[in-house]
Amino acid sequence: MDMQGLPLDAEEVRPFYADADPIHDFDHVMRVAALGWHLARAEGADPEIVRTAALLHDVPVAGTAREEHHVVAAEQASSFLVRRGVPAAAVDLVVDCIKGHRFRNRGAARNSLEAKCLYDADKIDVLGAIGIVRAFAYAGLHGHSLWHCATFVASEQDLAAGTWPSTPALEWRTKLDRMVDSMHTASGRALAAQRHALALRFCESLQAEYLQALSPNPLNPQG
């Protein structure tokens, strides 16, 4: 494939993330780019396409809700790459990767191996020690409580039926704990499983400490 206009210098995209929150900042982008390169090499995908998509996948746009950021970021990436003279075939692959990287975008096809690698790389970064830090950074940014014991042990039925407070416990139960099963590549699944195990141990330890501190009635959903 003609790769005119690539590779990108990471410093070229750093200004795009100057106003990003600490969960989706330039450091996150660089971690995903490194993970994506590693997965692409392991899986036989084009590492430069994955790296380029990673560098541009979370470009923040003022007024854009997180629910739509994958669409807007893809549009921004397309314009940026076209201006650089990157061939249409490469631009299309990068755009496809970015459109498919969001976990809650269940309808995304992710047909290309490159899109699968970017998705896996982005999701691996929500697991492990880094994932824990990001989850609690998000809670602090939005004024959420640190933990909610009842959420952590709720049945799937109760979790789906009830309204639970926004805490890292809810993020764990509804997203992070399910991430390994959402992986598309063997390499991504193996790395995600390792990081999931670490994050689970932390959550279990935190739950135990909360239970001890909140005794005798720690599982009151209103507490």
The H or E element containing residue 147 is none
DSSP 174: H
- Output the pLDDT for position 105: 57
85: left (phi over 0), alpha (psi -120 to 50) or beta: left
The tens place of each residue's pLDDT in the chain, 223 residues long, gives 778 888 999 999 999 999 999 999 999 999 999 999 999 999 999 999 999 999 999 987 655 556 678 888 999 999 999 999 999 999 999 999 999 888 665 555 678 999 999 999 999 999 999 999 999 999 999 999 999 999 999 999 999 998 999 999 999 999 999 999 999 999 999 999 999 999 999 999 999 999 998 776 656 655 4
- Output the pLDDT for position 70: 85
Of the candidate CATH numbers 3.40.640.10, 1.20.58.1910, 3.40.50.620, 3.30.1490.20, the domain formed by 126-223 belongs to 1.20.58.1910
Q: What is the dihedral of CA 193, 194, 199, 200, to 10 degrees?
A: 60
Contacts of 196 (CB under 8 A, 6+ apart): 127, 128, 176, 177, 179, 180
Q: CA 185 to CA 175: how far, in whole Å?
A: 18
Domain boundaries, the chain: 1-112, 126-223
Quick one: tokens of 65? Answer: 């809700």
Class of domain 1-112 (CATH, top level)? mainly alpha
Quick one: tokens of 6? Answer: 């690539």
- Output the pLDDT for position 2: 73
- Output the pLDDT for position 64: 58
